Chains A and B, each alone.
Chain A
Amino acid sequence: MASHGIKDRVAIVAMGCTPFAEQWDKGLDDLIIDAATECFADSKATKDEVDAYWLGTAQGGMSGITLARPLQIDGKPVTRVENYCTTGSEALRAAAYAVASGAYDMAMAVGVEKVKDSGYQGLNAQNPPMDGTQRTLTAAAMFSMVAPAYAQKYGVDEATMRSVLSAIAVKNHYNGARNPRAQFRREITAETAEKAPKIAGGLGVYDCAGVADGAAAAIVVRAEDAHRYTDSPLYIKALSFAAGSGSGLTDPDYDYTHFPECATAAQDAYAQAGITDPIAELAMAEVHDCFTPTELVLMEDLGFAERGTAWQAVLDGRFALDGDLPINPDGGLKSFGHPVGASGLRMIFEAWLQLRGKATPERQLSTSKTKALTHNLGGYPGEMVSFVSVLGTELD
């Protein structure tokens, strides 16, 4: 049993990312074309040079033809992947491993979701025929059980816990207000977050990610070829992935205060990348803030805070744009919404911008650190898949 990783063997040489928004005038094909076009424009790489494609979309369409048709790709290996909300990250993982294997010289990952055509609020899964015994809860309800469990376990009173969740929402909206691609570009106050209508449990509207359409894309090549396509490549240090068996839902020992799949993926990623002190070594991290308590718990699962202390670290501002470790400097799912297949690549896009000094000045980090982490999860507490990447501008 081993997870060797592909540290410094593959580089991202181009990326594209559409605005994430209610894009009534854009269909799935338009979003794909826009992200891919920006990606090619960003690099010397051309469509003819791409040897293989992976499309991440949870519900946008079946098969690789969903990508091949709009981009007019003929006779090449094009594959559609799906892995809950980590779908976009999985597309990149497949493309990077394909290049690392030597099978291809250049591969492209595209993630896309057209959410706002359903006419319903929130995200909606289309399920296969079932026996009618499955949960019908929203993700908000499942994640809402985390906050009281965490508060009870670590002795955080209700008012303080509310302040912690609000601080996370305020921070991410602050960052998103400084990002032209974000869906929500207005700062909010803690009071706004706390007065918002409740969705599930103690979670209000501002504790939940928005819902948006969007797409993002990346081109990967062997690290040694990277400078043929860009002057500033982003090297892949780690790509890790962990799927739980779903047993947390029925395991009486699971207490809803942590996500073991995320901790497992983080440990694997740090081992692959050779990271021993994430706070000291990482310039930033993008994490899967689908709901505010999710981000709180992730700070501990990803090793950014000791167990039971993240709530204090949040209140101390350690994860703000000017903190020890800026979390979700692009505004996160909170500001971007969550077009499922695109989100994982959108997170990597922020690392692509920040580490290369290309973020808008209002949120550009000034740091000498050269590595960033992205974390992307899918599923629910107790039944989850988790992805972690580490990316860097320097070869170690």
Chain B
Amino acid sequence: MLRRWTGTLVTMRGIITAAGYVPYRRLEGKQISAFFGSGGGRGTRTVASHDEDTTTMGVEAARRALAGGLTVDSLRFATPTPAYVDKNNASTIHAALRLPASVGAYDVGGSLRSWTGALLGALDGPGHGLVVAADLRDGLPTSADEAGCGDAAAAVVVGEGTDDAPVIAEIIGRGAATDEFLDRWRSPGDTRPRLWEERFGETRYAELSRAAYGAALADAGVEADSVDRLVISGMHARAVKAAGAKLSAGRDILVDEVTAATGQTGGAHALLLLAAALEAAGPGEVIVLLNLADGADALVLRATEAIATVRPADPVASQIATGAPLPYAKFLTWRGAVTVEPPRRPSPDRVSSTAAWRNEDWKFGFVGSKDPATGAISMPPARVSKATGDVDAMEPVSMADAVGTIVTFTIDRVAYSPSPPIVFAVVDFDGGGRFPIELTDVDADEVSIGDKVTMTFRRLFTSDGIHDYFWKGRPRPVRTATSTKEA
């Protein structure tokens, strides 16, 4: 049964900022077929680092969305592949972003459609709503999902614009078509998705996408031939292709500069495509975002004048253009498909929940302390001034966005790591402060003294089911995807 969504539109609420996060590593499909003799295909996919999960990728996307200093009133996080269940992952993102305690932070569902509900809820809610979506797609070796999916995150802030933070795209229409049918399913805890035969989903989605698309255009009062960009996302590749052919009706409005490089990034993909589309859109353009997931949802957006002046801090397009290849063997070990012999060193102790809570600003927010007497920065934060002996006179100083320079570094081949060896550097920050910190997204033989690094939120290890989240350094600028170096 089809139902048309008939909610009330709040005028002038729309997207204020949109950002994507594309992990650094790429797996070429041909590596899979070279190893197994089947599977793989010709494309590439993004691969989250061994120290990334949907929460850390969500943090990175949200940091990019909030790079302009935007404040938000709510946080919704949607992922089909959460780092925790029962425990709220949005609270971790909230902590890493150092949002005020009064900002509610909520995990939303676990399906490929959940992000849509999160976005619509934020659109209907008051204030600035931050919506974060992330996914980390697995499939059995040689499966279409393994090669054709990818890992990514995206974040948008919706609300009413201000002079400082204008709406770059108004939401002018919505349409939904919900239907209960089984095309793709996965049991909780499984990494392997299961699929019904392809034709059934293809025919269902054909009907559902037409219904949602038509409803959204009618809701917006926009004719189909006024649509400038049509963005379609869905896990059913044939259905997406068929819907694109049908709905574009021969017009050159289909846009997707992303999927060929990243793979289909599941619960993050529609917002990632939207962020990329907005990077390229000009004022007045009408953009339709259509997502196929156990039904179909369509959003009609109209870019405002502000889109010409508001530029993303770290465009999806440039993240796609950078990155480095990952050998298939590393991919298999990072995903837990293969376990290799670790160094004979003890695995780390589980993190103390109470200690982590006490040190939330430091651990999750990378906040040090600054001595007002000397300007000296302590990481972790200190209570006592080395210079004056004053107690509790320090000022907090956020180092998460500071740019650092490698003073010296080493490679530790013996220490425990989920992916040895550890590359470790002493980093001096622009504006003061030094911290010795592990590097990530890096090839051990390409680090140099003097290299610039930025900070990134990562998962160091997991012990007793507790994820240890903290910060690492990430060299920049990153190399292009054409680099032949391997991890």
Interface residues of A (CB under 8 A from B): 118-122, 124, 127, 129-133, 135-138, 140-142, 144-145, 148-149, 198-201, 245, 247, 249-252, 254, 256, 382
A260 to chain B, nearest CB (A): 14
The reply to whether B363 and A132 form a contact with Cβ atoms under 8 Å apart is: yes
The reply to whether B348 and A136 form a contact with Cβ atoms under 8 Å apart is: yes
What are the residues of chain A within 8 A of B409 when measuring CB–CB?
145
Given contacts A124-B346, A136-B415, A252-B433, contact A129 B355 (CB under 8 A): yes
At the interface, yes or no: B285 with Cβ under 8 Å from chain A? no
Given contacts A131-B351, A131-B358, A252-B432, contact A141 B415 (CB under 8 A): yes
B49 to chain A, nearest CB (A): 17
Residue of B nearest to A245 (CB): B386
18 CB-based A-B contacts, threshold 8 Å: A121-B344, A129-B352, A129-B354, A131-B355, A131-B356, A131-B358, A133-B380, A135-B424, A136-B416, A137-B424, A138-B345, A199-B413, A201-B410, A249-B434, A250-B379, A251-B434, A252-B434, A254-B434
A246 to chain B, nearest CB (A): 10
Say which size band chain B's interface belongs to: 35 or more
What are the residues of chain B within 8 A of A249 when measuring CB–CB?
434-436
Interface residues of B (CB under 8 A from A): 343-346, 348-349, 351-352, 354-356, 358-359, 362-363, 377-380, 386, 407-417, 422, 424, 426, 428, 432-436, 460, 468-470
What are the residues of chain A within 8 A of B434 when measuring CB–CB?
249-252, 254
What are the residues of chain B within 8 A of A140 when measuring CB–CB?
412, 414
Give CA–CA (A124, B434) in the complex, Å. 26
Give CA–CA (A120, B348) in the complex, Å. 13
What are the residues of chain B within 8 A of A250 when measuring CB–CB?
377-379, 433-435
Given contacts A130-B355, A199-B414, A200-B411, contact A124 B345 (CB under 8 A): yes
What are the residues of chain A within 8 A of B359 when measuring CB–CB?
131, 133
Q: Which of A136, A145, A148, A245 has the most CB of B within 10 A?
A: A136
Closest 10 interchain pairs by CB? Answer: A129-B352, A132-B351, A141-B412, A201-B410, A132-B468, A131-B355, A131-B359, A252-B434, A144-B410, A131-B356
A349 to chain B, nearest CB (A): 29
The reply to whether B470 and A121 form a contact with Cβ atoms under 8 Å apart is: no
What are the residues of chain B within 8 A of A120 when measuring CB–CB?
344-346
What are the residues of chain A within 8 A of B424 when measuring CB–CB?
135, 137, 141
Give CA–CA (A131, B348) in the complex, Å. 12
What are the residues of chain B within 8 A of A131 when measuring CB–CB?
351-352, 355-356, 358-359, 362-363
Give CA–CA (A141, B416) in the complex, Å. 12
The reply to whether A132 and B460 form a contact with Cβ atoms under 8 Å apart is: yes
What are the residues of chain A within 8 A of B435 when measuring CB–CB?
249-250
What are the residues of chain B within 8 A of A124 when measuring CB–CB?
345-346
